[in-house]
Every structure is written in structure tokens, then in C-alpha cells.
Amino acid sequence: MITVDCTDSSVIRDKLLVYVADKLKALPILKSNKFFLDSLDDSAIDKSNVINAIEEFLVSSDLRKNFQIVPKWDDILVKPLDGPYMKEKLEKISKTDSNPFFECTHCGFMTMYEEELQTHRLIHYI
């Protein structure tokens, strides 16, 4: 199990978690400002693959110059650097969607309430 510590970079934590987990086909476990990656089968996750996936995410988001990746044993720290345009870039990534509706990914059903969407999704799994 590999830990990715995003304590100082919580703005990108969620999107980074999704990208890395999808790229490595790993099971992510979120715990406050860190997330853990565990393999779906009994194989071990290679730390260098995790670092490469983090770098790919940062490059695709045009943030590679603003973050450093610090590996230490089974932990990987994603730490922001101070740059002149860092605040603008982080705000662009962390913009919340102004759409107040939740949409079902299966059929397009829309509601303003997250609980109602969760209940609706259950019909797709019956």
C-alpha cells in the first residue's frame, strides 16, 4: 500500500486521486489530506508508477513547475512550490461547478438533491 500525502496541496487532492487510481487501476482510500493506493489483486503497486502518474497529472494540468514530488519509503509527498501564477492556476482547477443539479451517469435523471440521486441509482443495480 502506498500513501500519497497532499496535506499542503489539498486543492488538487481529489482530482489527483481519481487520475492516479484510474491510471494504475488501483483502489484509492481517502483519509483527510492523504490517500492510500492498494491493488485490486494481490500484486504490489510500484512506487515509480505512482510517481509517473502524479507527474502526468501535473503536466496535463500545467502545474508541474509549481509542485514537487518527494518520495520517502512507501509515502509520496506532493508539495507546492511558490510561483508567481500559482494562485490563479489552483483557483482554475478548484472551481466548483455552478450547476446546482446532480445527474445520473446511467440515464441522465437530474435532481437538486444528492440523496435522491443516490436512491435513484439503486434502480440501475437491481
For residue 36, give every residue at least 6 positions away whose Cβ sits within 8 Å of its Cβ, in sequence order, or none: 1, 2, 3, 4, 28, 29
For residue 59, give every residue at least 6 positions away whose Cβ sits within 8 Å of its Cβ, in sequence order, or none: none
Note the pLDDT of residue 28.
87
Note the pLDDT of residue 84.
52
Note the pLDDT of residue 91.
62
User: Grid cell 435532481 — which residue?
Assistant: 111
Give pTM, 2 decimals.
0.65
- Nearest-angstrom CA–CA distance, 59 and 46: 20
Q: How would residue 70 be classed by pLDDT, with cut points 50, 70 and 90? A: very high
Q: Which helix (H) or strand (E) holds 72?
A: strand 67-72
**What is the mean pLDDT of the segment spanning 31-49?**
86
